[in-house]
Homo-oligomer: A and B are copies of this chain.
């Protein structure tokens, strides 16, 4: 009979910084006590790392003791092989002898040799040892690694195939198991990711093909597209393998983690599908998706660039405007730049030596007849939007600015405006971000040597209904406005109502006659 290891806290910790609410952990353990799970992987044991990581990244002894008292399962912790050396082992493991049953090692297959030495040291303290070997879909490229597998015999209790990219298919699982079996007698495990919704069928295939253990997490909680869902695996085992399942226990634990799912929204989506089916790292996707506001299309393009090994698809002339402007008005995509467009257009027409900078092209069509010079910030997918907004770019008179080279999100340049496109040499007032609407607009204002900087249509969001993505955009913008104003001792005055706190409030109606 195969075994099941639930690693919800360890893999879910990527979202929560490895801190989980105590009552949720209790619900988790008491529910799992009634379910046919054999091992619970709680988290990492780690040497100190600069940056805050929480409880289950370090898994202190008193915490493990408490968990031990609440569960009837075997407890597991994991080492990041890249950080842990043989000399760290005694300090990390001696205190948890008798509490934790198994220590796993997460490793790059190219470090198998080093990991074998680490495993020997772990074994010395009496723990079961599991090898979680990543990048399964690329193993065929690592010939040496396969030859070293015989070193596992007598040392590793489980050798895991980790489908890091979530891109393997059932046939790949079988082929890889054949490969492993030709080199070692070690028990085989499978850790699946769900980019292509194949985690279940791959895990069942592994089980049917004789695997000894599979990993899963509640609601699939885990980086990016997430893992095999424990509740799905158990539902199927109930009917397919006549395994007795307490669905009330499943109900309880799923309800507990459902709040976190609503908050962090892990699970697959188009960018994860693309990274999965092309064996591309999903770390970038996760960063783009959870902390920045990029359109799906920008992410798709960036991934396609990675796939095609295109760091960027065009190096453009550097933006060095010949002319300077005493006033720059930055227009955002908020509804206030439409609502008040009549007054804003009056303001533009009545102001001498003014340039208009479209941070987003969203509302640009309302301003297309304005006589002032206009600049368009084309981050990510914005070139497509420009084409949509101006159904005909034949007589386009504006200037388009792009982030500095190389651009992660790629470069889309509508064909008809190629001669009007420039990139920044650098972003001069912060290192923190390079590609966003606001940053391009502010950098443009700098390059145009504006004395007065106005902004309109940066409405902000209502606190009550703000999503996590919107919140991080607001935070990023507030940061940019502040650093810009501090660096250049220059106020940014908002001419329309705004919820941004770092902008100075003004009114377009006070400036027109």
Contacts and interface: CB of A to CB of B under 8 A. Distances in A.
A338 interface: no
A235 B196 contact: yes
A192 B297 CA distance: 27
A470 interface: no
A270 B250 contact: yes
Contact of A273 (B194, B232, B268, B300): B232
Interface string A212-238: 000000000000000001011001101
Interface string A362-385: 000000000000000000010010
Contacts of A235: 196, 270, 273-274, 276-277
Interface string A191-213: 00010111111000000000000
Top 5 closest A-B pairs, CB basis?
Answer: A251-B297, A235-B273, A251-B296, A247-B300, A239-B277
B201 A170 contact: yes
Nearest to A265: B262
A277 B384 CA distance: 44
Contacts of A238: 277
Contact of A464 (B197, B229, B465): B465
A301 B248 contact: yes
Contacts of A169: 240
A278 interface: yes
A304 interface: yes
Contact of A231 (B167, B231, B270, B299): B270
A295 interface: yes
A474 to B, nearest CB: 18
Interface of A is mostly: helix
A255 interface: yes
B297 A248 contact: yes
A254 interface: yes
Contacts of A170: 170, 201
Given A235-B273, A255-B296, A464-B464, 14 more contacts: A194-B197, A196-B200, A201-B201, A231-B273, A232-B273, A235-B274, A247-B297, A247-B300, A248-B301, A248-B384, A251-B297, A252-B297, A255-B295, A255-B297
Contacts of A273: 231-232, 235-236
A200 B198 contact: yes
Contact of A240 (B197, B239, B254, B277): B277
Contacts of A247: 270, 274, 297, 300-301, 304
Contacts of A278: 239
Contacts of A274: 235, 247
Nearest to A388: B252
A459 to B, nearest CB: 17
Contacts of A301: 247-248
A274 B274 CA distance: 30
Interface in A293-338: 295-297, 299-301, 304
Contacts of A240: 169, 277
Interface in A463-483: 464-465
A248 B201 contact: no
Nearest to A247: B300
7 contacts: A235-B273, A240-B277, A247-B301, A247-B304, A250-B270, A254-B269, A465-B465
A150 to B, nearest CB: 33
Nearest to A200: B197
A248 B298 CA distance: 9
A240 B301 CA distance: 19
A167 B240 CA distance: 11
Contacts of A296: 251, 254-255
A412 to B, nearest CB: 9
B300 A236 contact: no
A286 B156 CA distance: 46
A255 to B, nearest CB: 5
Interface string A431-470: 0000000000000000000000000000000001100000
Contacts of A269: 254
Nearest to A255: B296
A471 to B, nearest CB: 15
Contacts of A239: 167, 277-278
A300 B464 contact: no
A238 B229 CA distance: 26
A175 B229 CA distance: 27
